């Protein structure tokens, strides 16, 4: 009976081993080694070469520059402005590539996954498919990529990606730097290893969006940890921000609801029974 019970698990393990070995053999030497854990090399701002907020010098239209200024003023007063991530909404593209917490690449012939400690995964389809006829928008969007052999040596060293069909609200960074509310953003990326430093990865990101006067290109870089330790990171865990309607409040150390801004009115409690003293 003991041997009979072992047949199922042993057979499954053998099949998984064969499948994994076959996948490795199929792509042996063809795809780049992006394994390990990748950390951002700059700050949490969108363009790592410039300061957060106004210092980004984003090419915003006048309408969206005004929205951005209003967001900055609200944040200065204690609110969250346009940064809806305070309520744990996903960052979405392209902000998720700011890589607040480390990421991991899983490269397969037909799809490349990018996994984040604190975010939804990205799926980049490299199987030659077309754009879906009836796309379902998501914060990460729908990404189609293709591998490029720039050197003509028979192996890929560049992943080119186009991402569409995102939903909002989304911002470039925590300052509330906005993308357009129409969510017609198109993002093009070129991801590649540094030619001189194999533990340095670059992502050239071009954002095409109606909140911008022109396409905005920035290059982000990430350093590799080859012996990673992964830690869970749940945004909702111990999150003291509370959104009620269009207002943001805060849960104090005593567990009671408190204002986030000076002279902020209390929330509408019309559906709560008032206690009698």
> 19: cis peptide before it, omega within 30°?
no
Residues 6+ apart with CB under 8 A from 3: none
Could you tell me if residue 26 is inside a domain? no
Per-residue pLDDT, 21: 43
Q: Which residue carries 């909404």 as its tokens?
A: 89
Confidence of residue 277 (pLDDT cuts 50, 70, 90): low
Could you tell me if residue 4 is inside a domain? no
The predicted-structure confidence for 21-30, as pLDDT tens digits, reads as follows: 444 445 557 9
The predicted-structure confidence for 189-228, as pLDDT tens digits, reads as follows: 999 999 999 999 999 999 999 999 999 999 999 999 999 9
Could you tell me if residue 44 is inside a domain? yes
Could you tell me if residue 61 is inside a domain? yes
The predicted-structure confidence for 132-157, as pLDDT tens digits, reads as follows: 999 999 999 999 999 999 988 899 99
For residue 67, give the DSSP letter. H
CA 261 to mean position of chain CA atoms: 29
Per-residue pLDDT, 106: 97
Per-residue pLDDT, 167: 96
Could you tell me if residue 105 is inside a domain? yes
- Calculate the dihedral angle through the C-alpha atoms of 102, 80, 140, 150, rounding to the nearest 10 degrees: -60
Could you tell me if residue 84 is inside a domain? yes
List the one residue out of 175, 161, 174, 168 whose CA is nearest residue 209. Answer: 168
Regarding predicted confidence, which is higher, 197 or 271?
Answer: 197
Could you tell me if residue 24 is inside a domain? no
State how many domains the chain has: 1
Record the tokens describing residue 265, joined without a space: 């009115």
Range of the domain at 110: 37-225
Could you tell me if residue 10 is inside a domain? no
């Amino acid at each position: 009976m003991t041997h009979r019970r072992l047949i199922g698990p042993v057979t499954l393990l053998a099949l998984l081993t064969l499948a994994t070995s076959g996948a490795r053999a199929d792509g042996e030497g063809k795809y780049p080694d992006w394994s390990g854990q990748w950390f951002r090399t700059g700050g949490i701002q969108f363009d790592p070469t410039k300061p957060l907020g106004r210092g980004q010098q984003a090419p915003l239209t006048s309408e969206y520059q005004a929205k951005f200024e209003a967001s900055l003023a609200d944040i200065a007063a204690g609110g969250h402005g346009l940064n809806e991530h305070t309520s744990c909404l996903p960052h979405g593209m392209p902000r998720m590539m700011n890589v607040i917490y480390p990421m991991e690449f899983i490269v397969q012939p037909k799809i490349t996954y990018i996994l984040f400690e604190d975010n939804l995964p990205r799926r980049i389809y490299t199987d030659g498919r077309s754009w879906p006829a009836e796309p379902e928008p998501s914060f990460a969007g729908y990404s189609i990529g293709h591998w490029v052999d720039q050197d003509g040596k028979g192996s890929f060293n560049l992943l080119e990606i186009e991402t569409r069909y995102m939903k909002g609200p989304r911002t470039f960074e925590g300052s509330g730097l906005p993308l357009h509310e129409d969510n017609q953003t198109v993002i093009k990326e070129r991801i590649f290893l540094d030619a001189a430093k194999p533990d340095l990865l670059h992502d050239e990101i071009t954002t095409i969006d109606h909140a911008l006067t022109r396409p905005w290109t920035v290059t982000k870089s990430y350093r590799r940890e080859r012996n990673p330790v992964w830690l869970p990171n749940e945004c909702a865990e111990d999150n003291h921000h509370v959104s009620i309607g269009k207002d943001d409040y805060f849960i104090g150390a005593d567990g009671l609801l408190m204002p986030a801004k000076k002279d902020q009115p209390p929330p509408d409690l019309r559906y709560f029974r008032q206690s009698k003293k």
